Chains A and B, each alone.
Chain A
Amino acid sequence: MMSDTNYLTTDFTLRSWFLTTDHKRIAILYFASLIVFFFIGGAAATLIRIELATPQADLVSSDVYNRLFTMHGIIMVWFFLIPSIPNTLGNFIVPLMIGARDLAFPRLNLMSWYIFMLGGCTTLFAIFAGGVDTGWTFYTPFSTLYSNSYVIVAAAGVFIAGFSSILTGLNFIVTIHRLRAPGLTWYRLPLFLWSLYATSVILVLATPVLAITLLLMATERFFGVGIFDPRIGGDPLLFQHLFWFYSHPAVYIMILPGMGVINELISCFSRKQVFGYKFVAWCSLAIAAVGFLVWGHHMFVSGQSLVASLVFSFMSFIVAVPSAIKVFNWTATLHKGSIHFDAPMLYALGFIGLFTVGGLTGLFLACLAYDVHATDTYFVVAHFHYIMVGGMVTAYFGGLHYWWPKITGRLYSEYWARTAAVLIFFGFNLTFFPQFILGAEGMPRRYHVYPPEFQVWNVLSSGGATILAVAYLMPLFYLGYSAFFGKRAPANPWDAPGLEWQTSSPPPEHNFTTQPVVTRDPYQYNEAFQAEPQNA
């Protein structure tokens, strides 16, 4: 029997939202906050692309431009991408997927949102009080000695938000270890959970290193002591080592959850098991583990020893292997599948293409010789946007559409959803593919003026960014409309076997009325499943 109230209708007071310990409501709090951060970061990107439409400086000065790309980077990395899938979709879906009533530490989960908002507001204050011009990497000695901007405040915001990441990672690790439903063994876990588990390990082990690094940097700046200042014996490269020891694994925080979502989508919309389940599962952990050993590829031209560069180059090739295995397994899953081109599937297919381009160009950058040419050019910019935007943001939208009926209990307009998915794919490629060419021809990143011969590619890129901006705004309207006026969604609109579909849409506050018991592997999209009655 379905109860007549769900988690959205149990209580309507503000207090019931801001003091909730329900993982589903906390997911909604995160979701609302991330939309705001996404459009603030996006506004900065818009100004950057408008400025770059012409070779001269016509919109902003170089100083303002520095602050724009720093703001874009800081907001998008720490206040959108890192929390995006884990803290919204993960928060909502993980307990449902494993048949639990909530995450292991519900109050910690709420605290993590408050910490996140405190960090976010601190960073926004730094940005609107006058901005930061160091780039999102806070490289010393510029950040400690020369920059005349709100470095310490911005770093404090990132530092605080880090604790929110750690608490979320901790919560997921403990939840996945301890709260799986009876019968839900590790190899029966949906692959989304394996990838979130790997992500959480990185969150817990890498984020504290960023915390201590930012603390050292802020101490140097505040007290004027030379921790990274070569004039009194400090080593600026040490900052880069420590920073990238966090920030390279953080790149995997920004892609592993996306890969996890793609498993669910590909499997559902080709009505097949994921090909090579165990390989995909262990590849997530392999990426997390090897990802800790490749940070030096950000420093090939920094003057680190050639031996170090060779080792980091080799390891960077190694870390591409598990990612490649995943891509092959997704395509193998499609093979002879019964493919449905619903909106989430369009995002998933887009993801595979864009991630593959981003991954392959990563191999260019892992080559020592080519990297010397491409360092700090638009080639790098295009590469990591293909991973983070083409990959992660696309997966985020795909997952959002896939679970939207579960989250809101409403169906969105399939027509508009497909249109947005296609527009995002083409807008994205038009924005960022020209940047590969610009980078290969030598246009450096972080300049607001450039030689006129680069203009044609920059105009194409800015034109693509316009399409992309419109496409990213579209879901705000049709999803927003569907949340209030959309058709009621059934419990299991995709006929999917996952536990999250076995409860009503939207789920009741306690998720499941009886403790679910799992008796089979995930992704059983076969007749046996179809015959089973729906527990709606």
Chain B
Amino acid sequence: MPDSSAVAPQYASIPHRDHTAELGMWVFIATEVLLFGGLILAYFVYRHAFPQGFAEGSRHTEIVIGTANTAVLLTSSFLVAWAIEIFSPATIRIVTWLLIGAACLGLLFIVLKGIEYSKEYDEHLVPGIDFLFAGPLANGVQLFFIFYFIATAIHALHMLIGICLLITLATLCRKAPTTRHHAALHSAALYWHFVDVAWIFLFALIYLPGRSAS
């Protein structure tokens, strides 16, 4: 849209514009909550129906990788929060490196997740592709792993989008650290923290059932 100074502007002020953008991200996060919410609801319905199968399935997950990934993701979120906190034209070099660091930790998460997937493939625990599990708990274990793969794949997709956002913002901030980028960074950080929170829920649902009892 061509800008013309003769007409009323879209926003009354820069804070007005920035708060509007941020509200957009909050509404988007509400959508995301319901997306994961539907999935987690289905998980609980089946966990209620197959408590032992889900516990057994959970015991076959790689809790060491899962825990390491949780630490990686929390650290990454911390770096983003730090970048926001110190954002100013003077500190832009540090901000850029913090964002790149956060993106690299995100990539590390994806790599660890890939290793985890390949281990599960070796153990014939991938429903629909290679799944071998004998015994009375087979149905429950299979359902558990279906949810495990769908939930972690959707989460990984969110991670990839987030990594792209962080790298884009690191590049933009390096070029010109304006308040507009600060607002964009704020929204991207909200998204990144959401992905982090979603993982904390998934961590508890995937890796912990069935471990305390044994």
Contacts and interface: CB of A to CB of B under 8 A. Distances in A.
Contact of A225 (B37, B41, B42, B146): B146
B27 A174 contact: yes
B20 A513 contact: no
Interface in A184-227: 204-209, 211-213, 215-216, 219, 222-227
B16 A235 contact: no
Interface string B23-40: 110011011101111110
B1 A509 contact: yes
A278 interface: no
Interface centre among B34, B37, B41, B150 (most CB of A within 10 A): B34
A209 B42 contact: no
A234 B53 CA distance: 13
Interface string B116-154: 000000000001110000000011101100100010001
B186 to A, nearest CB: 15
Contact of A209 (B27, B38, B50, B146): B38
**For the complex, would chain B's binding face be called helix, strand, loop or mixed by DSSP majority?**
helix
Contacts of B7: 101, 510, 512-513
Residue with the greatest number of chain A CB neighbours at <10 A, chosen from B6, B7, B28, B154: B7
Interface residues of B, number: 41
A242 interface: yes
B8 A223 contact: no
A212 B38 contact: yes
A22 B7 CA distance: 15
A212 B143 CA distance: 16
Contacts of B128: 219, 222-225
A219 to B, nearest CB: 6
A174 B8 contact: no
Nearest to B24: A174
Contacts of A205: 30-31, 34
Contacts, number: 118
Contacts of A512: 7-8
Given A170-B28, A208-B32, A225-B127, A22 B20 contact: no
A105 interface: yes
A513 B8 CA distance: 6
B17 to A, nearest CB: 9
B6 A219 contact: no
A445 to B, nearest CB: 28
A238 B129 CA distance: 24
A179 B8 CA distance: 12
A105, A227, A512 — which one has the most chain B CB atoms within 10 A of its CB?
Answer: A227
A328 B32 CA distance: 38
A238 B8 contact: no
A349 interface: no
Interface centre among A178, A224, A513 (most CB of B within 10 A): A178
Contacts of B138: 232
A235 B38 CA distance: 15
Given A102-B1, A102-B10, A178-B19, A233 B142 contact: yes
Contacts of B1: 21-22, 102, 106, 509-510
A509 B7 CA distance: 10
Interface in A142-191: 166, 169-171, 173-174, 177-179
A215 B39 CA distance: 10
Contacts of B46: 233-235
Interface string A499-519: 000000000011011110000
B213 interface: no
A169 B27 CA distance: 9
Nearest to A210: B38
Given A208-B34, A233-B49, A233-B143, A101 B8 contact: yes
Interface of B: 1, 4, 6-10, 16, 19-20, 23-24, 27-28, 30-32, 34-39, 41-42, 45-46, 49-50, 53, 127-129, 138-140, 142-143, 146, 150, 154
Interface of A: 21-22, 100-102, 104-106, 108, 166, 169-171, 173-174, 177-179, 204-209, 211-213, 215-216, 219, 222-227, 232-235, 238, 242, 245, 509-510, 512-515
Given A205-B31, A209-B38, 16 more contacts: A100-B10, A101-B7, A101-B9, A102-B1, A166-B31, A209-B34, A209-B37, A216-B150, A226-B143, A227-B42, A232-B142, A235-B49, A245-B38, A509-B1, A510-B1, A510-B7
20 contacts: A101-B9, A101-B10, A102-B10, A108-B24, A169-B27, A173-B27, A178-B16, A205-B34, A209-B34, A211-B35, A212-B36, A225-B146, A226-B143, A227-B146, A232-B138, A233-B46, A233-B49, A235-B45, A238-B42, A242-B38
Across the A-B interface, give the 5 residue pairs with the lowest CB-CB distance, nearest first: A223-B128, A233-B139, A208-B35, A515-B8, A510-B7
